[in-house]
Structure 1
């Protein structure tokens, strides 16, 4: 589904040109659960920004479902992002004055769906993350783990091609982190959801199927996880 070939990324910092990604090549198949690891400054955030259609300025080749991303317009990137990527962030990024159901349904409203047609889809996706009956509550009435489940439901509502989870357990305690990781595993196994997860924690990464390690802008290793 995702194929990167000799990807390079540069940033201009004053008079200096910083080489952030260096000849990165990798493939991610439909239905994989992949963890990307690396220290701060390794280039992992830049890499996921490119994979998630947030950054279109790079050298090399990016093919998504066989289609080259080279020379795509900004509007093409917005369309690809909205139709194919579900984002899950460390700090949830829920809108505090909207109900859980309104937060989850927001991507469908942005996509032009009618409000009256959204309710059933919201209820279904909340059930899929074990949050039945909380749709009328505000985010702050929920625990951190429940708020992250709401964020995952919001990411799933458009039925994206893949989930891009950036440190999804970083703001959670260890017990709640395990619950969220179990949810990811269940989504991957039962729904064949493709999940790309960025983490600095090996104990989190080892629950994926494959760990890609990045160091100094290069892929240091790419190995299957022995479960």
Structure 2
């Protein structure tokens, strides 16, 4: 599904150049549940910006379903992102003065979907994340865990090919974190949604089927937690 070959990324600030990613080689299969773990400054956010079609300025090759993404224009990157990726963030990024249903339905509204479809699809995904009946609530009336569930519902409402979750449990207590991780596992198992979680928490990383470590912009370890024979081999 995703194949990165010899990806390098540098930033220029003034007269200084900073080499952030060094010869990244990474393949992610369709239906995989992958965690990318590293401390602050390790390069993990830069890496997921490239994987999630947010950053088209890099060296190396990126094949997505065998299409050469590294040759695409910025406009093509934007289209790919809108049609293929759902994002979940640490701080939820919900709009506080509109309802849960409106928050979840925004991506469909931007995509030009009809209101009847949006209403039905929002109801479906809220049920899937355990928030049936919360359509008319405001985010501020929900707990942190519930708000993250809303964020996940918004990410999956367009039926994306893969999810990128950036420190999705970082603002949650340990018990709520377990609930959110269980929800990700359920989405991965039931819908075969490819999930990429970025974390600095070993407890979160250990729950993924595969764990990749990044340090100083280099992939240092790739650990498969899934029993042999269970992995989906479709790329």
Report how many residues are paired. Answer: 227
| Superposed CA offset, 1:153-179 (max 9, x none) | 000000000000000000000010000
Shift of 1:223: 1.0
The answer to whether residue 101 in structure 2 is matched with residue 101 in structure 1 is yes
Deviating above 3 A after TM superposition, structure 1's stretches of 4 or more consecutive aligned residues are none
RMSD over aligned Cα, in angstroms? 0.9
| Superposed CA offset, 1:82-111 (max 9, x none) | 000000000000001110000000000000
5+ long unaligned stretches in structure 2:
228-235
In structure 2, distance between residues paired with 1:215 and 1:116 = 47
| Superposed CA offset, 1:136-191 (max 9, x none) | 00011111101000000000000000000000000000010000000001111111
Classify the secondary structure of the residue corresponding to 1:70. helix
How does 1:73-152 map onto structure 2 within 5 Å? 73-152=73-152
Q: Which residue of 1 aligns with 2:220?
A: 220
Classify the secondary structure of the residue corresponding to 1:158. coil
Classify the secondary structure of the residue corresponding to 1:18. strand
In structure 2, distance between residues paired with 1:127 and 1:79 = 28
Shift of 1:117: 2.4
Q: Which residue of 2 aligns with 1:66?
A: 66
| Superposed CA offset, 1:16-52 (max 9, x none) | 1111100000100000000001111111100000000
How does 1:38-53 map onto structure 2 within 5 Å? 38-53=38-53
Q: Which residue of 2 aligns with 1:178?
A: 178
In structure 2, distance between residues paired with 1:137 and 1:160 = 25
